[in-house]
A and B are shown apart, each in its own frame.
Chain A
């Protein structure tokens, strides 16, 4: 696997792709990054394709769900800032616990990425939004990459991206990663959110049940007292109320916030083994 930096220089004429001119793919050289970016999304929505487009790495891509089962990491430079990119396993939710969902969830919650890019499938928007909304509960530093726009077009669907951006309160970038369109816009959005230049007003689900909301508030306050730098007390409170064993254990052993990283490179080793 090449660790050499590849700078894309040619820009001439292309009006849309000028931003990729400032993209330097760094392969697996992940050291001293300025921003950490997590890549989440449903299975088979093109996460690995986007990961490869940004880092210049060649993760195995295939047209089926469930290829990426652990985290893969890569890096790229954009506008003089160094980004570490972590490709998370594809999941439909962060609610139930299987190994892959736990890896994704733990990283978004405790890995404290500066930006979480959620790759959404334009042809199955509603289902993709389940995950987007759950991630918005954890963090508002989110960019939604609305991928597979070419397929949505083929299926004669039109998606109102501005409306979607308004509803979600985070940038939504339409793209077709397989064709390489939208990559520059995605980079721009990541850069803006990372630098705190985008007015984020992430949609939060409020529950109509008053008893529930007050219970959340009580626990959130108590958690805030005990754990000084808890990334998202409201989310942890909800899991405690649900009786989520892994979160209860993490609270009990005070390991909330320490991330297991043993799996991070096995996927890279794998893509080499194939």
Chain B
């Protein structure tokens, strides 16, 4: 029998049975499941734990307390991270950029290695790697376990629940609040997780806006800049708290942009109604402390660090090369920075930062180390060349950036904003292409955030200039 005949016959039979077959099948299954469950399950009223869950949910997801508690939770986590990371960060940079760096250089000297070789390997590849480790490892080792604990407890779905209302109003799918939470780990993972959204329109919105979730790679940048530029303006007692608040504020701004851009897209290119769904609140589960620690330190932290180091080593090589290959009077880096500088300054950043973002397209993790190395290279600081540049703790990073790089508070704030609003990393862009297979939407997802970032930075810079604040 021919295949087409079977299909035709099915269509005829379907007409005879009626259109509501799908519903009838579903009803039959539900009825059967209900009967089996009735026979197999015996329960004695509502248990204490369930009513405790409900009471907790009433507070955590209440219209009045939901958002303030969310903000408080985020700030506390960030505060613990910033306050806790200070000392180990300083110790690590003492070791890696001080002792080890000096040892490597004296070893190179004793071996009579040519300047370009030791420069390329030690000042380029090694230094960038050391930077990434000392800047990123301590905050990650504190932030990830705390974040994973919240996830393990079951708090993240409550956050998603709180945000669901807003997403609906923005014309987006409620599940986007979940994919957004996923993006806080890794935007590439967030983009893949949008597969839980059925409607292509809403899925595209979720993909395009996922970049506004600050990923693992960008949190350390935010934390560092927040600490040295914003925290440092406050009295020492409050410094960590103010720094944490500033990072939390940028994170919230990310959510605001997610909603605004979603609303914009669903009113213009991706018109349509929000589809409804029911979001499930899992029971609160006591977190498994040791497993969480192990998982988040060994897996998340080390995996992110490994990726950062893999990216940092070649980036360090490139930075050293463009800083030491001369075209005419100036190095390649100096040419590019000089070219980008006017535009950079116009939007409250500078040429070094823009170049760093180009070098760091493969991985956001290495933006700050790249900026520091480029700043020092570009300024032709004597420090960098004879190997004294080392041992930069937070305060000295600030000195390098303000003294050598000419940074102001505005530069710090705008760098945080630009870190939130710029193109996704290459892994994420590739993932977006894989998921959409659309050149158009991949381009939109890549370019839209940068344009937004430039506009926002220009805006803050103009306001600052207008009122002569900075």
Q: Residues of A at under 8 Å CB distance from B?
A: 43-44, 58, 62-67, 69-70, 89, 93, 95, 97-100, 123, 125-127, 129-130, 132-134, 151, 154-161, 163-164, 167-168, 178, 203, 205, 207, 209, 211-212, 215, 218-219, 222-223, 225-226, 237-238, 240-243, 248, 251-252, 254, 266-267, 270, 272-274
Q: Is the CB of B17 within 8 A of A65?
A: no
A207 vs chain B, min Cβ distance (A): 6
Query: Known: A64-B178, A223-B6. Is A158-B42 also a contact (CB below 8 A)?
Result: yes
Q: Is the CB of A274 within 8 A of B17?
A: no
A146 vs chain B, min Cβ distance (A): 10
Considering the complex, give the chain B residue whose CB is closest to the CB of A178: B288
Q: Residues of B at under 8 Å CB distance from A?
A: 1-7, 9-11, 13-14, 16-17, 21-22, 24-26, 28-30, 32-34, 36-37, 39-45, 47, 49-50, 148, 151-154, 156-157, 160, 175, 178, 181-182, 185-186, 188-189, 192-193, 195-198, 216, 280, 282-283, 285, 288, 295, 299-300, 303-304, 307, 427
CB-CB under 8 A from B303, the residues of chain A are 272-274
Considering the complex, give the chain A residue whose CB is closest to the CB of B152: A63
Q: Is the CB of B39 within 8 A of A130?
A: no
Q: Is the CB of B29 within 8 A of A134?
A: yes
B435 vs chain A, min Cβ distance (A): 10
CB-CB under 8 A from B25, the residues of chain A are 95, 207, 238, 242
CB-CB under 8 A from B189, the residues of chain A are 270, 273-274
Q: Is the CB of A212 within 8 A of B17?
A: yes
8 pairs of A and B residues whose beta carbons are closest in the complex: A129-B33, A126-B37, A240-B10, A98-B198, A69-B195, A215-B13, A156-B47, A164-B40
B140 vs chain A, min Cβ distance (A): 12
B31 vs chain A, min Cβ distance (A): 9
Q: Is the CB of A205 within 8 A of B29?
A: yes
**Main DSSP-derived SS at the A contact region:** helix
A251, B24: Cα distance in complex, Å? 23
A237, B9: Cα distance in complex, Å? 11
A187, B290: Cα distance in complex, Å? 26
CB-CB under 8 A from A205, the residues of chain B are 28-29, 32
Q: What are some 8 contacts across the A-B interface (CB < 8 A)?
A: A62-B151, A63-B282, A151-B283, A158-B42, A209-B17, A215-B16, A219-B9, A274-B300
A243, B197: Cα distance in complex, Å? 22
Considering the complex, give the chain B residue whose CB is closest to the CB of A219: B10
Complex partner residue of A157 from B7, B41, B148, B216, CB under 8 angstroms:
B41
